[in-house]
Structure 1
Amino acid sequence: MGDFESTEILKNVKFENINWYFHSYLKDFIKEDDYCIVDSYIAEEDTYEVISNLARTCLFLDDYYRIKYPKGTVIIPSLKKKEFVDSTTLTRYIAGPHVICLRHNFTKIESRSIRKDLANVLITLGGSDITAFLKQIIKSLCRKYPNIFFHVVSGRKNINIESEEFDNVQLYTDLTAEEMKQLMLMSDLTITGSGQTVYELIATRTPFIPIKVAENQQSIVSNLLELSLTNDFINYLEDDPLRNLLNNFEKNIPYSVRKNQYEKFSNFIDRNSTKNIVNYFLINHDIEDKFRLRVATNEDIYNVYHLSNDSTVRANSINQKKIIWKNHREWFNKVINNDQYLFLIIEDKNNKFVGQVRFEIKYKVALISISIEKEYRGNGISLSILLKSVQECTQYFENVKNIIAYIKISNIASKNYLKELDLSL
């Protein structure tokens, strides 16, 4: 549910357009087993409360902590990673570059480089109604830099930039995501509003000058400065923004300045963000609160040994022979002292041994293995624990791009929940 107009996000998607602000409709429509995703800049807290109470799980999309959310998971795209739980509502807030949901076209970027000469400049200030300022920018830059071509993206077709006065400017409207991406890849520098476009510029590694055109963009601007992703920004809301922009533009002409920003953008935004968000959505947080993961120690050798020789664990293993103690001790000591393994122990809140998850790292691939004590099987913890352990693995080993599991054909249960993680089996 969300506030959608005729946008590209709904292209080729079957959907029903309804007035979902009526609580009576929500109570008839939402079932107790439903998973609800809500993306809205309009809905009030009471509407979110109704949805949260009716649905099994809720995921709320937000940009700047707009309201106090009810129980659920709130995803906030941000350049800085931050995760916390509001203890009063049990709402989980997940922020960071790993949950910046890029448009599909921006998840696959061909390699690019930065040209030494500043030849093409993109100007895109977003949906803000600052037409007069945009005209001032165009006239000033086109007049001062006749050898630079300026590509201006605007949501207004009738902006009338008097392009006949200049032969080094072109106006674009109603661009698709792919067309916008290609403009960014062609540009040597971009002048941009400090909204969501900043994330796409970072994903395409396009150097840019950020302009704060609204107060709700302050968090993005602050993060850019704190992370040294930009040296300065233009505040449209303060005096003489045009003069400040022209001075800043001059500073960004040198190749070394643009190249430095280009290099900082490398792999900054996780292009698997959509998958990350889905994983957060699927995690059963009631289960997660009852169990925890920690790195294995020498004291875990006996619990792992007994679990490994459990009849069901052995039956579902590639090697079904019973493990003798001597071999287990040698193997265990080798694994916990090898930096190419991540060996995690699952415990309940009383520190009782529940199971183990193990990752063996081979360059950019992680081989995963999981086993759970008999009394905890069948209650839905495996998927949630796996999702959490995969997050741990990718934090420990940032170079890992694929996770693979070797599973017997007859082990249907493991195949099913591992497929939900989109792992290679």
Structure 2
Amino acid sequence: MQVAILTEGGEKRGLGHVIRCSAIYEAFIEIGIKPVVYIDLSDKIYYKTLEFKEVNWLENKEVLKTLENFDIVIVDSYIADYDLYEEISSKVKIPVFLDDNARIDYPRGIIVNFSLCAEKIFENRKNESNYYLLGPQYIPIRKAFLEISKIRKDKKDRINQIFLMFGGTDVINLSAKVLKLLKENTFSSFRKVVVTGSRKIAIDIRQNFPDVEVLLNPDPGVLARKMAMSDLAISAAGMTLYELAYLQIPTIAICVADNQRRGLYEFVNKGYLKEYLSYEDPLLLSKIRSSLHFMMSNYTKVRRRSLIGRNIVDGRGSKRLVNKLVRFYREKSIDTRR
């Protein structure tokens, strides 16, 4: 069986798609299948642990032509248009399209949306040409996080270390704003760990906040370990939030993109998060300050609430997804070639 994965990332586009595709890649590796990965990776933001070919597959006709040689092709894109999906669908036995928000009406294939509100998103958008794998049971979690959860110790009854990550590249530079808040006397004793994919932001933080530990594009093992060692996280509401939920870390999550809104509300509704926060809110920093005070005063209760995270994200999503795709291939039940 031949598998290809096509996705995109970079300093402006972030690394969320690359991260979730790497988790799916690892699940294929576990069953002895090594996918070929094509990434349209701008801004020279390199992802260290995934073997891939850097190419603008959105425009490279040679790459699209080679897809005829693959049995399963997974596409994870913010920007690919219908015509490109249609071309891939016509060439491949099992086309798989990862989706965040019913972005377009897809041609025939398997549509995967693992957000907490996936069923609501597609409630009136389903058609007979597609097969749908919807919901958090398909959330892909990277192997490093699955492994670190097995050895993670019980946390203390108070906050010692805060983990901050606002998307792989922190396009709106929330890191500096939140770190300035954390310099206030009430929070100044906390150890702070900031993760970013932006070299510029990393340099700025090291210059302006010398007591902060900065991780620039850490490998997943280091990232998972630092996250698991933390007592509290302040994070964007993308893939990092799923990983925090899986590790059961008390979290303050902030919506930094339109495709995060619905999912963030669902995390609040299920009780993992205390409230919905958005980067567009002029009172954002004030609300973060209030949440921090609440968590400090009620940390034992907050930590118990965070255990809900494992009920939402159980860590078996990548394996479920890959097993489903392999079964489709063997049964040839969704051959979309014309």
Superposed pair shares fold, TM > 0.5? yes
251, 258, 261: which is aligned to 2:294? 251
Gaps of at least 5 residues in structure 1 are 286-379, 385-425
What are the equivalent positions in structure 2 for 1:249-288 lying under 5 Å apart?
A: 249-253=292-296, 254-284=298-328
* Structure 1: distance between partners of 2:253 and 2:69: 44
Equivalent residue letter for 2:310:
S
- Match of 1:158, SS? helix
* Structure 2: distance between partners of 1:66 and 1:9: 29
Contact 1:62–1:76 (CA<8 Å) still a contact in 2? yes
Report the counterpart of residue 397 of structure 1 in structure 2: none
Report the counterpart of residue 196 of structure 2 in structure 1: 154
142, 148, 154: which is aligned to 1:113? 154
TM-superposition CA deviations, 1:298-343 (whole Å, max 9, x none): xxxxxxxxxxxxxxxxxxxxxxxxxxxxxxxxxxxxxxxxxxxxxx
Would you say 1:2 and 2:7 are equivalent positions?
Answer: yes
- Match of 2:68, SS? coil
Would you say 1:38 and 2:75 are equivalent positions?
Answer: yes
* Structure 1: distance between partners of 2:107 and 2:207: 54
Deviation at 1:42, TM superposition (A): 2.2
Deviation at 1:267, TM superposition (A): 4.4
* Structure 2: distance between partners of 1:170 and 1:23: 40
Would you say 1:174 and 2:217 are equivalent positions?
Answer: yes
What are the equivalent positions in structure 2 for 1:71-86 lying under 5 Å apart?
A: 71-80=108-117, 82=119
84, 88, 92: which is aligned to 2:131? 92
Would you say 1:104 and 2:143 are equivalent positions?
Answer: yes
Contact 2:246–2:309 (CA<8 Å) still a contact in 1? yes
Q: Relative contact order, CA 8 A, sep 6+: which one is greater? A: 2
Contact 2:272–2:306 (CA<8 Å) still a contact in 1? no
Deviation at 1:80, TM superposition (A): 4.7
* Structure 1: distance between partners of 2:158 and 2:177: 24
Contact 1:114–1:258 (CA<8 Å) still a contact in 2? no
Aligned residue-pair number? 285
Contact 2:108–2:129 (CA<8 Å) still a contact in 1? yes
* Structure 2: distance between partners of 1:182 and 1:69: 38
TM-score normalised by length of structure 1:
0.60
Contact 1:58–1:73 (CA<8 Å) still a contact in 2? yes
Report the counterpart of residue 92 of structure 2 in structure 1: 55
> Aligned in 2, Cα 1:116/1:38: closer, same or farther, shift over 3 Å?
same
> Aligned in 2, Cα 1:283/1:268: closer, same or farther, shift over 3 Å?
same
- Match of 2:307, SS? helix
Contact 1:52–1:70 (CA<8 Å) still a contact in 2? yes
- Match of 2:312, SS? coil
TM-superposition CA deviations, 1:106-164 (whole Å, max 9, x none): 12212432211211111111123222x43232122123222211112222333355667
Contact 1:26–1:51 (CA<8 Å) still a contact in 2? no
* Structure 1: distance between partners of 2:54 and 2:208: 45
Report the counterpart of residue 140 of structure 1 in structure 2: 181
* Structure 1: distance between partners of 2:53 and 2:231: 42
Contact 1:147–1:168 (CA<8 Å) still a contact in 2? no
Report the counterpart of residue 15 of structure 2 in structure 1: none
What are the equivalent positions in structure 2 for 1:8-407 lying under 5 Å apart?
A: 8=48, 10-11=50-51, 16-22=53-59, 25=62, 28-31=65-68, 34-80=71-117, 82=119, 88=127, 90-108=129-147, 109-110=149-150, 111-126=152-167, 127-131=169-173, 133-144=174-185, 145-159=187-201, 168-253=211-296, 254-284=298-328
TM-superposition CA deviations, 1:350-380 (whole Å, max 9, x none): xxxxxxxxxxxxxxxxxxxxxxxxxxxxxx7
* Structure 1: distance between partners of 2:214 and 2:114: 29
TM-score normalised by length of structure 2:
0.75
Equivalent residue letter for 1:7:
Y
- Match of 2:213, SS? strand
> Aligned in 2, Cα 1:158/1:18: closer, same or farther, shift over 3 Å?
closer
- Match of 1:10, SS? coil
* Structure 1: distance between partners of 2:69 and 2:160: 57
- Match of 1:92, SS? strand
* Structure 2: distance between partners of 1:50 and 1:166: 49
Deviation at 1:39, TM superposition (A): 2.0
TM-superposition CA deviations, 1:26-77 (whole Å, max 9, x none): 6743338732222222211101001111211111122222222111111112
**Which structure: larger Rg?**
1
Deviation at 1:93, TM superposition (A): 2.4
Contact 2:232–2:250 (CA<8 Å) still a contact in 1? yes
> Aligned in 2, Cα 1:86/1:245: closer, same or farther, shift over 3 Å?
closer
Gaps of at least 5 residues in structure 2 are 1-5, 9-38, 334-338
* Structure 1: distance between partners of 2:197 and 2:72: 34
